[in-house]
């Protein structure tokens, strides 16, 4: 969206208002670049304290804003709100950068550490998958940090969450990442959504 000043704000607010869906007391809406700092607050916990993401440095709010803008050009980027506060977010992106993969997308999700097991993740993925299917996406892929043995930085919660959402394990890369002085694996999980 190439708008300036108040017009861009008005258009973004109109888009968000129009696309709000409710799942119980959780509201799902399209993210905007104005959400960057709040979303980064959720994400930075995982960078600093966990091996859930293999990102090592917390990006600036401006870098994070640009990531949101780039994603929104082609894919859904959504947030969950409870009582007016953002409690999580999910988005999709390119699975592989070749035309033949146009019906596939990679998904990502982050939920506020204090909101786990409250239905936020399920509500986000339900809406994300609906939006992807409406775009003609058939295959959703999740790239997930993995370890053979749970430790203080990483456990199997994300894998279990994706299994509950209907994803199946399709591949594993061994000791491909290092964080906190430890080696970690990565798995790919897949769900046919279209």
pLDDT tens per residue across span 77-92: 999 999 989 999 999 9
Indicate whether 16 pLDDT > 60.
no
Write out the H or E segment, with its range, that includes residue 35: none
Is-contact 183 168, C-beta < 8 A?
no
Reported confidence tier of residue 24, pLDDT bands at 50, 70, 90: low
Indicate whether 46 pLDDT > 70.
yes
Indicate whether 116 pLDDT > 50.
yes
Kindly state the average pLDDT of the residues 145-149.
95
C-alpha dist (Å) from residue 22 to 16, 27, 77, 79: 13, 4, 16, 12
3-class DSSP state of 69: helix
Mean pLDDT check: name the lowest of 19-28, 52-61, 91-100, 143-152: 19-28
Write out the H or E segment, with its range, that includes residue 164: helix 157-164
Reported confidence tier of residue 19, pLDDT bands at 50, 70, 90: low
Indicate whether 95 pLDDT > 70.
yes
């Amino acid at each position: 969206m190439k708008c300036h000043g108040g017009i861009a704000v008005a258009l973004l607010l109109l888009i968000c208002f129009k696309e709000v869906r409710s799942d119980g007391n959780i509201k799902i809406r399209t993210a905007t670049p104005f959400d960057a700092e709040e979303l980064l607050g959720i994400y930075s916990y995982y960078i600093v304290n966990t091996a859930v993401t293999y990102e090592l440095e917390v990006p600036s709010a401006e870098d994070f804003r640009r990531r949101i803008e780039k994603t929104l050009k082609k894919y859904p980027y959504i947030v969950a709100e409870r009582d007016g506060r953002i409690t999580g977010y999910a988005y999709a992106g390119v699975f592989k950068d070749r035309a033949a993969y146009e019906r596939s997308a990679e998904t990502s999700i982050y939920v506020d550490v204090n909101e786990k097991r409250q239905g936020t993740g399920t509500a986000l993925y339900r809406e994300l998958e609906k939006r992807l299917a409406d775009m003609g996406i058939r295959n959703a892929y999740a790239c997930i940090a993995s370890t053979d043995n749970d430790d203080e930085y990483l456990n199997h919660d994300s894998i279990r969450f994706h299994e509950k959402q209907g994803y199946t394990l399709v591949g594993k890369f061994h000791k491909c990442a290092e964080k906190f002085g430890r080696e970690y694996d990565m798995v790919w999980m897949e769900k046919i959504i279209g």
